[in-house]
């Protein structure tokens, strides 16, 4: 028996089944889905709820929709275009007003959020590259503190995306310290995950934790491209040594060897200086476009990547290859037929080099397109480099996926957690059910400081998942991603049954969680 929101008990019949705390996804990008009216929100989040996710952490990778001002709204909208469904109102300003908006809309799941460094930097200094001036540094400090005081659980950085890729370590230390002193932690999409700068990028996270005296979190630990796969043990060793030295560092991992992100991540950092509009103008310039093409083909990252205009954080196309990157989503009707083509295939269809075919498409789509990248800690032939990350007792399991009703979402939006339970636990016995559930529940709850979720215990909120250990399985694939998981019988959020007998029952069962509340 579990108490519902009105105090009435909800009876659970679970003979022969497993009952677990509700799954907590530390790395979601459903920020803008949750700003929609409940009916549309529920349709986009159904795949997440039906895989047992009861609580989401938004605002990851330095990419977020808050805070906003009249001057920054257009830049933020463009950067967030690849995770934006139709009909988002964009009618908030401060972090508190954003949470108030989500609360007023009602939410299917429990929602917690980080404040993204990108909008903070845009508000403090605009979209330009370079180090903030002293007054801009003070503005960053003030804005980060205010957001955490208004309910953010910390700050996130996306160090391969604009504008976060322009920040040096000193800026990261300042913002992380501000968040930590207000009670939050700092989450990082690290500077680079290819062989060239993998070690230095991990060391940078540890340096920030040490110097800022801040809890740090390494988001979706990964090695990008075949040359980097052997670096997995080095990451785990470095972070374990950091823990022994007193750094509060945690991490998470997705259970796939492919990821989804914005197409902007394929281009040289200098080309993105000034925002998406400035990038598109450069792409129209034949001389600058030729330089981009040459650098994508040849340039390897060096450390530190922020010193000098031609330096890269990570060259994804060079590491993974055009035939391992797929077009996942575009908005324009004329290019819909190209969705799910590899970029090599896009080049063949257009009779052009893959870079030129992609760049023409980016101009047509005004800079908004999404990619699926294969070759992340493994590929379609092997997941061996991924296995130590999945097994590590200190890495939470996450989706790093979203559904906006367009194109081909990453299958993790429908099946990440059932994939672990079915494929990696039952079939391959990489983990026990108990350990996998811990990495989806109490481990992320501890990172967030949630004292009443993440465990089944008297007095805790009734976020619960009932699943059949013999049948739980992901059915979503990269070619057919919108297939709901099997074996998840019931999901309760705050005592309300939102999945019953495997059927979705959308309702405003979730709560907006604010740090310190």
Indicate if the pLDDT at residue 5 is higher than 50.
no
Whole-number pLDDT of residue 516 = 86
Helices (DSSP H) in 186-320: which residue ranges?
198-212, 232-244, 276-284, 286-298, 316-320
Element (H, E) at 10: strand 9-10
Please state whether the predicted TM-score (pTM) of the whole model is above 0.75: yes
- The C-alpha atoms of residue 165 and residue 313 are separated, in whole angstroms, by 7
pLDDT at 12: 78
Q: What are phi and psi of 501, to 5 degrees?
A: 60, 30
**pLDDT band, residue 10 (cuts 50/70/90):** low
Q: Which of 3-7, 60-64, 189-193, 270-274 shows the lowest per-residue confidence on average (mean pLDDT)?
A: 3-7
pLDDT of 11 reads: 74
Tens digits of residue pLDDT in 25-59 = 999 999 999 999 999 999 999 999 999 999 999 99
Whether pLDDT at 341 is above 70 = yes
Instruction: Name the least confident of 32-36, 305-309, 429-433.
Output: 305-309
CA distances from 360 to 75, 175, 331, 363 (A): 21, 37, 15, 5
- Give yes or no for residue 4 having a pLDDT over 80: no
Percentage of the chain with pLDDT > 90? 96
**Which uninterrupted H or E stretch holds 216?**
strand 216-218
How much is the pLDDT for 1?
Answer: 47
Beta bridge partners of 369: 330
pLDDT greater than 70 at residue 8:
no
Does residue 454 register a pLDDT over 80?
yes
pLDDT tens per residue across span 343-362: 999 999 999 999 999 999 99
* Position 83 pLDDT exceeds 60: yes
Query: DSSP states of 423-480 as a string?
Result: IIIIIT-SS-HHHHHHHHTHHHHHHHT-SSSSS--TTS---EEEE-TTT-B----SSS
The confidence score (pLDDT) of residue 517 equals 80
Q: Is 116 helix (H, G, I), strand (E, B) or coil?
A: strand
Give 237's pLDDT tier (boundaries 50, 70, 90): very high
Angle between helices 276-284 and 286-298 (to 10 degrees): 100
Q: What is the mean pLDDT of the chain?
A: 96
User: Looking at residues 107-128, what average pLDDT do you find?
Assistant: 97
Q: What is the pLDDT of residue 2?
A: 52
How confident is the model over 246-257, as a mean pLDDT? 98
Does residue 271 carry a pLDDT above 50? yes
Percent of the chain topping pLDDT 70: 98
Q: Identify whether the C-beta of residue 473 lies closer than 8 Å to the C-beta of residue 418.
A: yes
Mean pLDDT of 440-461: 97
Q: Which residue has the higher pLDDT, 14 or 219?
A: 219
Q: Is the pLDDT of residue 230 over 70?
A: yes
Of the chain, the end-to-end C-alpha distance in Å amounts to 27
Residues 142-186 have pLDDT tens digits of: 999 999 999 999 999 999 999 999 999 999 999 999 999 999 999
Mean of the pLDDT values across residues 7-18?
A: 75
Q: What pLDDT was estimated at residue 307? A: 86
pLDDT score of 7: 46
Question: Does 3 have pLDDT greater than 70?
Answer: no
Please say whether the beta carbons of 61 and 83 come within 8 A: no
Q: Is the pLDDT of residue 270 over 90?
A: yes
The token pair that represents 347 in the structure block:
């080049």
Cα–Cα distance for residue pair 388/244, rounded to 1 Å: 20
Q: What is the pLDDT confidence band of residue 315, given thresholds at 50, 70 and 90?
A: very high
Kindly report, residue by residue over 463-515, the tens digit of the pLDDT.
999 999 999 999 999 999 999 999 999 999 999 999 999 999 999 999 999 99
* Cα pseudo-dihedral 478, 23, 512, 462, rounded to 10: 140
């Amino acid at each position: 028996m579990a108490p519902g929101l009105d105090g009435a008990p909800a009876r659970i019949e679970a003979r022969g089944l497993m009952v677990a705390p509700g799954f907590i996804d530390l790395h979601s990008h459903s920020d803008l889905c949750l700003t929609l009216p409940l009916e549309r929100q529920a349709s986009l989040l159904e795949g997440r709820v039906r895989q047992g996710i009861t609580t989401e952490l938004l605002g990851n990778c330095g990419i977020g929709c808050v805070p906003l001002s009249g001057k920054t709204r257009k830049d933020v909208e463009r950067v967030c275009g690849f995770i934006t469904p139709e009909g988002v109102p964009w009618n908030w300003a401060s972090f508190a007003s954003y949470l108030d908006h989500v609360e007023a809309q009602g939410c299917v799941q429990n929602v917690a959020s980080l404040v993204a460094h990108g909008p903070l930097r845009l508000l403090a200094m605009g979209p330009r590259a370079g180090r903030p001036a002293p007054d801009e540094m003070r503005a960053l400090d003030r804005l980060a503190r205010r957001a955490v005081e208004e309910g953010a659980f910390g700050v996130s950085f996306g160090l391969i995306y604009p504008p976060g890729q322009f920040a040096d370590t000193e800026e990261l230390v300042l913002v992380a310290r501000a968040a930590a002193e207000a009670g939050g932690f700092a989450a990082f999409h690290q500077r680079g995950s290819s062989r060239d700068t993998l070690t230095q990028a991990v060391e940078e996270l540890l340096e920030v934790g040490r110097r800022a005296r801040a809890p740090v979190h390494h988001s979706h630990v990964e090695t990008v491209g075949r040359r980097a796969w052997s670096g997995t043990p080095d990451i785990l060793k470095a972070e374990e040594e950091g823990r022994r030295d007193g750094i509060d560092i945690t991490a998470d991992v997705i259970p796939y060897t492919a990821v989804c992100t914005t197409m902007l991540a394929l281009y040289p950092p200098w080309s993105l200086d000034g925002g998406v509009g400035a990038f598109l103008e450069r792409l129209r310039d034949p001389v600058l476009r030729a330089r981009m093409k040459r650098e994508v083909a040849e340039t390897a990252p060096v450390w530190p990547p922020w010193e000098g205009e031609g330096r890269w954080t990570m060259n994804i196309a060079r590491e993974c290859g055009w035939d391992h990157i797929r077009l996942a989503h575009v908005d324009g009707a004329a290019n819909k037929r190209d969705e799910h083509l590899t970029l090599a295939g896009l080049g063949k269809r257009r009779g052009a080099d893959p870079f030129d075919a992609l760049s023409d498409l980016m101009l047509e789509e005004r800079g908004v397109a999404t990619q699926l990248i294969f070759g992340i800690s493994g590929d379609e032939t092997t997941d061996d480099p991924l296995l130590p990350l999945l097994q590590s007792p200190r890495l939470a399991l996450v989706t790093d996926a979203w559904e906006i009703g367009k194109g081909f979402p990453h299958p993790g939006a429908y099946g990440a957690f059932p994939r672990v339970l079915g494929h990696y636990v039952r079939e391959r016995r990489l983990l026990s059910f108990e350990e996998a559930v811990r990495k989806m529940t109490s481990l992320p709850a501890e990172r967030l400081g949630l004292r009443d979720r993440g465990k089944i215990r008297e007095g805790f909120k009734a976020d619960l998942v009932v699943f059949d250990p013999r049948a739980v399985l992901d059915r979503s694939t990269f070619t057919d991603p919108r297939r709901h998981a099997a074996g998840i019988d019931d999901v309760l959020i705050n005592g309300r049954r939102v999945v019953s007998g495997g059927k979705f029952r959308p309702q405003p069962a979730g709560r907006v969680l604010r740090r310190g509340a």
